Amino acid sequence: MRIAIATDWWLPRIGGVESQVSDLASVLIARGHDVRVLTTTRNPVPAAGMSAEHVTYVDVPILGDVSIPDFRRIPEFAERLRALSPDVVHAHGMFSTFAIGAVLASARVHLPSMLTVHSLLRPAPVFMAASAVFRLFANRATLVTGVSAATVADVERASGREALWIPNGVRLSDWQPAPEDREAVRVLTVTRLAPKKRTIDVVRAVAAALCRTPDGRVRLEIIGDGPERSRLEQEVMRLGLAGRVIFHGACSRARVRELLSGAALLAHPGTREAFGLAILEARASGVPVVAIASGGVPELVTHETHGLLARNHEEFGAALARMIQDVSLRQRCRLQAPIGLDAYDWPEVAARFEAAYARAMSRTSARRKPGAA
């Protein structure tokens, strides 16, 4: 197939959606497909297996991480797609106007399209906005997919239509379990440093845990960057954790793999996770997880098997302290963490996308037939 991917999120930007979309492109190419990427990311670079000519920068105004709406450009997008002549257009992002524009442009030139939603549609104001976007624009997509069962449920409620579950993927062979480090109890958190990610809760929970068990080997390593970093650094100093906390900043996937290797646990305090890619990567690396049981997280973590799930942030602190103190629990979870992840291996995930593309193409072909509904 020739597949056109429309995305605001692309390399060299670092993030969960960026890694997923670029990995998807690479895997599809390796499976014999012709992939062309249209992106609003400035100075885009090709993913593995791609050349520069396969990635096209689309110059649109950007606000934060996503493009600013300008529906006057739909005809231009339609002509780009007509020139590419893909079998299917795959757009990414519920509130990406570029993705929605790609869906509308696809309908304009009678191409099948698929919209992948990477986020939860919560709280209520977000859900209401999503419902309006579906009603006015996004329901023009031939198919809609969500990265978790929680996301799919939100999408179906907001759109009034069926959505398909196709999860995020990892190359399981890249994330190998390793024995826990003996010299340090390394607590990792991997996230963008933004207020909604609640990384400050991890800092405070580690400080509270050290008050209960002043183990000199415990240290917190924060992987990621963002506007919350300065506040986190100040909190580390206020709590007397200087020397116990390492800020690694934004890291490549290879560096994240290196840091996860031998870690004691992954602390994941977010409450609005549609999926939790860092959790999947931790499990594949044999690292126990302490997280909040919300969104797509319970789909990846079974309490007392792959780690500990908390119902709220008070329980999160207690769970983190327990995992730090209980070596036998960590070892049990470490053994179980990498088991049962085959559905998230990229060959399996890519096959799901291929089937969805074929389904979208079949639906569009049927609509073109004389007398078809």
Of all residues in the chain, what percent are helix, strand and coil, respectively (each to 5)? 45, 20, 35
Hey, what domains does the chain have and what are their CATH numbers?
Answer: 2-169+345-368 (3.40.50.2000), 172-342 (3.40.50.2000)
What's residue 372's pLDDT? 44
Distances in whole angstroms, Cα of residue 365 to Cα of each of 90, 112, 140, 180: 17, 9, 15, 54
Residues paired with 88 in a beta bridge: 3
| DSSP-based three-state secondary structure for 169 | coil
Q: Give yes or no for a contact between 108 and 362, defined as CB atoms under 8 angstroms apart.
A: no
Identify the band that residue 369 occupies on the pLDDT scale cut at 50, 70 and 90.
low
pTM above 0.85, yes or no: yes
The predicted-structure confidence for 254-267, as pLDDT tens digits, reads as follows: 999 999 999 999 99
What's residue 370's pLDDT? 47
The mean of the pLDDT values for the chain is: 94
What's residue 53's pLDDT? 94
Q: CA 188 from chain center: how many Å?
A: 18
What's residue 63's pLDDT? 78
Residue 223 pLDDT > 90, yes or no?
yes
The predicted-structure confidence for 165-200, as pLDDT tens digits, reads as follows: 999 999 999 999 999 999 999 999 999 999 989 999
